[in-house]
Structure 1
Amino acid sequence: MLVQNLFVLVTLFSIASSSSLVPNESNGLVVTEEAYMSWVKYMGSLRHSLFQKAQNKLKPCRTIKVNKNPKYGDFVTIQKAIDSLPPMNLCRVLIFITAGTYREKVEIPATKAFISMEGEGADKTIVEWSDTAEKKGQSGQPLGTFSSATFAVNSPYFIAKNITFKNKAPLPPSGALGKQAVALRISADTAVFIDCKFVGAQDTLYDHIGRHYFKNCYIEGSVDFIFGNGLSLYDGCHLRAITNSYGALTAQKRDSLLEETGFSFVNCKVTGSGALYLGRAWGTFSRVVFAYTYMDKIITPRGWYDWGDKNREMTVFYGQYKCTGPGASSGSRVSWSRELTQQEAEPFISVSFIDGHEWLPNMF
């Protein structure tokens, strides 16, 4: 009954497009700000029922060194270092990657949890490749967006620091098909990225599934360059557009009210070129919040795009809170986005949004 009631509340609120009382003549129900706030508090609660309790391990039991010169490291490639770990890794392993450009396609399997990777600086330690969705794989079929990733993480409790993840595929022309080129895909729960860079064009960062924390990261792209269905907090990140036409910063995939997912950007800055939407409603219940974020003039006045489906305007959750800069004005935003109050924004602007009190303590 709770889920059914919440569905009614959010649907009616979305139709209302304001916090005032709005009667629904078909069934006599009334939406109030109090009812809406109950839904906000539930969706931003400290305990997300669809995720298991996280139990992180932060102290390394083993350190591996990767160096392009075999004389100075244990392995010359990142993938070989990963492959050396046992199939069911149960302790924190630190893989230190020395300065250099590592031209390789890397994938961490689901069984190898608790991996930390640390570079010598994001401008010094770079992992790059250039696959696109249309490129044919070993099977002779196109790779697709999922498999285009330069670096793919499928295991929980992953940590990366001071590394650049790059897809070198060139910026595609507007409207081109099959040009998705993922720099990093994170398809597991409880991942942390600190002082990292994600460089690409279309579909740079595939924030696929799970709870994720991005701290002081740089993310560059053109269209949907942060996309997926993760439950993720972006804290103090620089988001830079590189298109000369229309682009989109986010494409959040939440397709059901039951999915406790969404992207929250706090203390970030958005700069670059072109005309940029803050987000496109890839999912029917797409959810994105920007708080205390500087927005350059590249942000389109409307701010958001419904993916060509007017029905999504009744179910998405798009909000801003105390954002600044020439692109932050909410006066011309679409009617189905919202300027949040402090109470409404509260569930989305701390690590509690991703249950960080469980798996992030003492990390910094």
Structure 2
Amino acid sequence: MSSMSRARFLASAVAVAVLLVASGNVEAGRHGHGRAAHRHTKGLRPGKARAPAVAANATSVEQGFARWVRFMGGLEHSVFQRALNRALVPTTRVVVVDKTPGAGDFTSIQAAVDSLPVINLGRVVIRVNAGTYTEKVSISPLRAFVTVEGAGADKTIVQWGDTADTVAAGPWSRPVGTFGSATFAVNSQFFVAKNMTFRNTAPVPRPGALGKQGVALRISADNAAFVGCSFVGGQDTLYDHLGRHYYRDCYIEGSVDFIFGNALSLYEGCHVHAVSPQYGALTAQNRKSLLDDTGFSFLNCRVTGSGALYLGRAWGTFSRVVFAYTYMDNIIIPRGWYNWGDPTREMTVFYGQYKCTGPGANYAGRVDWSRELTDEEAKPFISLSFIDGLEWLRL
């Protein structure tokens, strides 16, 4: 094996190991086995390596991630250990992005992201000064602990215009698909965004148009929070793909399925605005199994806009969405929910309302397979415990 091949193999091994073992520690922590596992690894490799610096107020999940680094640092394979020593340097810094050359550290958000260590273990704040940044941004899986903070959602905008049928550059010339259409894609844990607008500039498609999904932001990782952000697009605006997420005081605009995915997410104090000229759907939640701990909960939100809007469509067989203490304008279709053309899903979905207000909140016309929740039924959906927020959320 050549030296170049060995280097590539080592880099791949580090990446895969980080993802697999870090995930295991998170799950262990959630099920109460994290401490026992920690004792076991300490007994095997006492005092071999120091953990990277972790803030004193780090959550249990963050501490578990650091414990894994200590475990890996104790391995006897010196080449592997040296690679980790180079890659796992904790970073606690602020970088500034400004469109004007020389006014900040970088002129694009992606350049700031690319400057981070391949495996990032310290909180890095990317401060994005006011301006419209026309670029496509992606944060790779191992660049954890990234905060992107704008000067205000009305002042700091990142935008792009891909749709599902946009053909990717390169020799393959294939459409990027809905997943690849995202203006801003997050694939790493512990991401935070504040006071930013994420926009897909593709226009609202005509009813029934194919390949016109245009994602403004896709979040495909656990432990993410968004505060004071705006997500603006036409169809499929916010791809709430995977993981536990928290949205507070955000604005979300779109027409069809403009909040969709299979995450476990709490939307608190958010304004959801429909721009469909005819018919639309607010959510398309993709829970596929009764065992999946996923779903969307909207707490103290507002639903406004134009057209006629379903509260949700049953993308997943066990789709789960709840609206609590939410104001609904008169754009809500009285039936409220759509079964995705599959009547069997009416027996497996979980769609509920709890103490909602406004002309669109009248439960009398709802489909008989949705429910008006009791106090006891609503309780799991109306606090941070819905997303295990007390374990990992720190804003």
TM class by smaller structure: 0.7 to 0.9
Of residues 55, 58, 61, the one that matches 2:62 is: 55
Which amino acid counterpart does residue 148 of structure 1 have in structure 2?
A: S
Contact 1:48 1:260 survives alignment (8 Å) = no
Q: 1:49 to 1:285 in 2, by over 3 A?
A: farther
Which amino acid counterpart does residue 70 of structure 1 have in structure 2?
A: P
Give the superposition deviation at 1:72: 1.0
Q: For residue 325 of structure 1, give the secondary structure of its aligned residue in structure 2.
A: coil
Structure 2 counterpart of 1:196: 229
- Distance across 2 between alignment mates of 1:245 and 1:119: 34
Give 5+ residue unaligned stretches, structure 2: 1-28, 35-59, 66-89
For 1:54-75, what per-residue CA distance to the aligned partner results, in whole angstroms no more than 9, with x for missing partners? 3379x98100000011221000
Matched, 1:124 2:143: no
Of residues 147, 155, 160, the one that matches 2:188 is: 155
For 1:264-290, what per-residue CA distance to the aligned partner results, in whole angstroms no more than 9, with x for missing partners? 000000000000000000000000000
After the TM superposition, which residues 18-97 of structure 1 pair with which residues of structure 2 at under 5 Å, given as runs? 54-55=61-62, 61-97=92-128
Q: 1:67 to 1:259 in 2, by over 3 A?
A: same
Which amino acid counterpart does residue 183 of structure 1 have in structure 2?
A: A
Which amino acid counterpart does residue 103 of structure 2 have in structure 1?
A: Y
For 1:140-198, what per-residue CA distance to the aligned partner results, in whole angstroms no more than 9, with x for missing partners? 01110000000000000000000000000011100100000000000000000000000
Q: How many residues align?
A: 315
Contact 1:105 1:129 survives alignment (8 Å) = yes
Which amino acid counterpart does residue 220 of structure 1 have in structure 2?
A: E
- Distance across 1 between alignment mates of 2:367 and 2:213: 27
Considering fraction of residues, name the structure with more helix: 2
Of residues 207, 210, 219, the one that matches 1:177 is: 210
TM-score, with length taken from structure 2: 0.78
Structure 2 counterpart of 1:134: 165
Q: For residue 71 of structure 1, give the secondary structure of its aligned residue in structure 2.
A: coil
Matched, 1:356 2:363: no
Contact 1:194 1:215 survives alignment (8 Å) = yes
Runs of 4+ in 1 over 2 A off after TM superposition: 47-50, 52-57
Structure 2 counterpart of 1:301: 334
Give the superposition deviation at 1:48: 6.5
Which amino acid counterpart does residue 80 of structure 1 have in structure 2?
A: A
After the TM superposition, which residues 134-283 of structure 1 pair with which residues of structure 2 at under 5 Å, given as runs? 134-138=165-169, 139-283=172-316
Q: For residue 376 of structure 2, give the secondary structure of its aligned residue in structure 1.
A: helix
Q: For residue 55 of structure 1, give the secondary structure of its aligned residue in structure 2.
A: helix
Matched, 1:110 2:110: no
Structure having greater relative contact order (Cα 8 Å, sep ≥ 6): 1
For 1:318-363, what per-residue CA distance to the aligned partner results, in whole angstroms no more than 9, with x for missing partners? 00000000000000100000000111000000010000011124x2
Q: For residue 364 of structure 2, give the secondary structure of its aligned residue in structure 1.
A: coil
- Distance across 1 between alignment mates of 2:235 and 2:347: 27
Q: For residue 54 of structure 1, give the secondary structure of its aligned residue in structure 2.
A: helix
Contact 1:132 1:145 survives alignment (8 Å) = yes
Percent same amino acid at aligned positions?
67
RMSD: 1.8
Structure 2 counterpart of 1:43: none
Which amino acid counterpart does residue 228 of structure 1 have in structure 2?
A: G
Q: 1:78 to 1:261 in 2, by over 3 A?
A: same
For 1:17-49, what per-residue CA distance to the aligned partner results, in whole angstroms no more than 9, with x for missing partners? xxxxxxxxxxxxxxxxxxxxxxxxxxxxxx966
